[in-house]
């Protein structure tokens, strides 16, 4: 349903560019909607509906997604040796991850099609998001997750929203394979990011981000890479804003993966950055047994790699991989900025540190990292890091470089004060 019958590539939605659209008028319209009480205007996705392939009377299913904060993060910036760094926190969406921005449009499309059953494979966040939006739309949904590889919080959310949860033997890539077979049945509607209507919603984040920067295009945007739908969506979003004349250039889009689940980064490493050409055919080698504690991106066969490749190459960005220790430390540093995220999101800051030290990002350039999930998505990870018990997938201990352990005190004022004094002196 979502693949081209000629080349086998994934389909994308293309809207004709309306030549008479005034870019400044569009910006004004989107800005003015911020103070409206209309459900669609309250959503940070539907507010940009001129970019979406829906008619005015579409049965929009929204939970008030989008409108996520753009923070400045001075500690993370200095950790990366940058003058400044912005973090766009997509974990502040209704179900705690960026998936909601695409799920609102995918579930709306499912309603238009009168779909009977919505399905997805997931490492946890897509599952929670689909479960919530299907519940809002009063539709049946079934979710396939790799057993034992999804964080407890994500599973708990999904169950609470009433989805049918199927725990599959195998990893995410096996779940994805099964789900694609399932969706050959026409009554079953697949909402993984191979569904182009997911990408349509997710791409609006590019517009929201630029609006928050007063339409001043940053030099770099950095995203974590798993199945590579998010990278594809950002690439598409920036390109369309450029085609509409809303921005005068696109930022470099770079993707960061975890070392143990990095097929896209390995593909990129085979080529010289300066002579990359998106017209040249390339073939990715998938990773058989992906491993990372950042379970959201434990993916060896990313489904949207071709779209993401185009986005990275056209914008002259980079793809790289970071270690488990680097992810863990970057996450703790982001925390010190007062901003919590899940491990997969912290690959961005770890990756930026690499890109700066390699001279690919300059200290004075404007950089935005996209945080994709909320800190409470995986509290086991956080607790283990701070108590020094975090071990990598091969059971090797990771060091709690920036660990912060609780102190035990007796129940009296003096002991409490002494403990505070000793800790604050460290």
Contact 127, 165 (CB under 8 A): yes
For residues 300 and 373, which CB has a smaller minimum distance to ligand F0G in the complex? 373
Give least dist CB 42 to ligand F0G, A.
24
Q: How many CA atoms lie within 13 A of 247 on its CB side?
A: 22
| Closest to ligand F0G by CB, 26 or 121 | 121
Residue 389 near residue 379, CB atoms below 8 Å: no
Q: How many CB atoms are located within 10 Å of the residue 279 CB?
A: 6
- Residue 90 CB, shortest distance to ligand F0G, in Å, is 8
- Minimum distance between the CB of residue 410 and ligand F0G, rounded to whole angstroms? 41
Q: Residue with structure tokens 């990366």?
A: 80
Q: Which residues pair with 321 in a beta bridge?
A: 257
**How far is residue 379 CA from its own chain's centroid?**
18
Q: Residue 53 in contact with residue 197, Cβ under 8 Å?
A: yes
Torsion (CA) 102, 107, 113, 117 in degrees, nearest 10: 120
Q: Give 69 or 74: the residue with its C-beta nearer to ligand F0G.
A: 69
The minimum distance between CB 386 and ligand F0G, in angstroms, equals 20
Nearest approach, Cβ of residue 23 and ligand F0G (Å): 28
CB of 173 to ligand F0G, least distance (A): 10
The residue among 154 and 366 lying less far from ligand F0G, judged by its C-beta, is 154
Closest CA to 251 of 318, 165, 329: 318
Please, what is the minimum distance in Å from the beta carbon of residue 228 to ligand F0G?
Answer: 4
Q: For residue 118, which phi and psi values (nearest 5 degrees)? A: -100, 135
Q: Which is nearer to ligand F0G, 52 or 222 (CB)?
A: 222
Backbone angles phi, psi at 283, to 5 degrees: -125, 130
Closer residue to ligand F0G, CB minimum distance, 240 or 342: 342
CB of 225 to ligand F0G, least distance (A): 5
C-beta of 191 vs 356, nearer to ligand F0G: 191
- Smallest gap from Cβ 164 to ligand F0G, in A, equals 16
Residue closer to ligand F0G, measured from CB, 183 or 345: 345
Please give the Cα distance from 270 to 390 (Å, whole number).
Answer: 32
State the minimum distance, in angstroms, from the CB of residue 143 to ligand F0G: 9
Q: Residues near 102 by Cβ (< 8 Å), separated by ≥ 6?
A: 193, 197, 198, 199, 200, 201, 202, 229, 233
Segment (H or E) for 370? strand 367-371
Q: Which is nearer to ligand F0G, 44 or 226 (CB)?
A: 226
Beta strands 140-146 and 164-168, pairing class = parallel
From CA 90, how far away is CA 377, in angstroms rounded? 13
Nearer to ligand F0G, 2 or 215 (CB): 2
CA 350 – CA 323 distance, rounded (Å): 9
Evaluate whether 68 touches 89 at the Cβ level (below 8 Å): yes
CB atoms within 10 A of CB 278: 14
> Cβ closer to ligand F0G: 211 or 378?
378
Rounded Cα distance, 31 and 28, in Å: 5
How far is 279 from 45, CA to CA, in rounded Å?
31
Q: Least Å distance between CB 177 and ligand F0G?
A: 14
Instruction: Give residues in contact with ligand F0G (CB under 6 A).
Output: 97, 99, 122-126, 193, 224-231, 296-297, 342, 344-345, 372-373
User: Would you give the DSSP letter of residue 148?
Assistant: T
């Amino acid at each position: 349903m979502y693949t081209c019958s000629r080349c086998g590539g994934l389909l994308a939605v293309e809207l004709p560019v309306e030549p008479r659209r005034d870019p400044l008028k569009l910006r004004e319209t989107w800005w003015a909607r911020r103070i409206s009480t209309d459900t669609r205007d309250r959503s940070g996705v539907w507010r940009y509906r001129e970019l979406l392939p829906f008619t005015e009377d579409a049965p929009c299913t929204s939970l008030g997604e989008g409108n996520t904060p753009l923070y400045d993060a001075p500690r993370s910036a200095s950790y990366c040796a940058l003058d400044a760094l912005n973090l766009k926190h997509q974990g502040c969406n209704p179900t705690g991850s960026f998936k909601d921005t695409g799920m609102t449009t995918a579930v709306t499309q499912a309603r238009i099609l009168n779909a009977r059953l919505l399905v997805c494979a997931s490492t946890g966040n897509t599952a929670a998001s689909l479960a919530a939006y299907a519940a809002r739309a009063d539709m049946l949904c079934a979710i396939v997750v790799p057993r034992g590889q999804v964080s407890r919080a994500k599973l708990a959310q999904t169950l609470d929203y009433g989805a049918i949860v199927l725990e599959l033997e195998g990893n995410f890539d096996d779940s994805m394979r099964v789900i694609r077979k399932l969706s050959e049945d026409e009554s079953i509607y697949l909402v993984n990011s191979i569904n182009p209507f997911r990408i349509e919603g997710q791409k609006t984040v590019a517009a929201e981000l630029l609006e928050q920067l007063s339409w001043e295009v940053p030099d770099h945007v950095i995203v974590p890479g798993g199945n590579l739908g998010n990278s594809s969506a950002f690439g598409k979003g920036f390109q369309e804003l450029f085609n509409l004349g809303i921005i005068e250039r696109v930022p470099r889009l770079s993707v960061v993966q975890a070392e143990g689940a990095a097929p896209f980064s390995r593909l990129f490493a085979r080529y010289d950055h300066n002579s990359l050409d998106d017209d040249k055919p390339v073939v990715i080698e998938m990773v058989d047994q992906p491993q990372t504690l950042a379970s959201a991106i434990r993916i060896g066969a990313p489904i949207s790699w071709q779209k993401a490749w185009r986005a990275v190459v056209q914008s002259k960005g980079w793809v790289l991989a970071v270690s488990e220790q680097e992810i863990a430390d970057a996450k703790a540093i982001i925390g010190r900025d007062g901003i919590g995220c899940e491990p997969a999101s912290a690959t961005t800051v770890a990756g930026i540190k690499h890109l700066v030290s390699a001279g690919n990002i300059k200290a004075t350039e404007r950089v935005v990292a996209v945080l994709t999930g909320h800190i409470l998505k995986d509290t086991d990870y956080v607790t283990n890091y701070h108590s020094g018990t975090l071990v990598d997938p091969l059971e090797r201990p990771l060091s709690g470089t920036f660990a912060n352990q609780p102190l035990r005190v007796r129940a009296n004022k003096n002991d409490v004060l002494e403990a505070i004094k000793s800790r604050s002196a460290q």
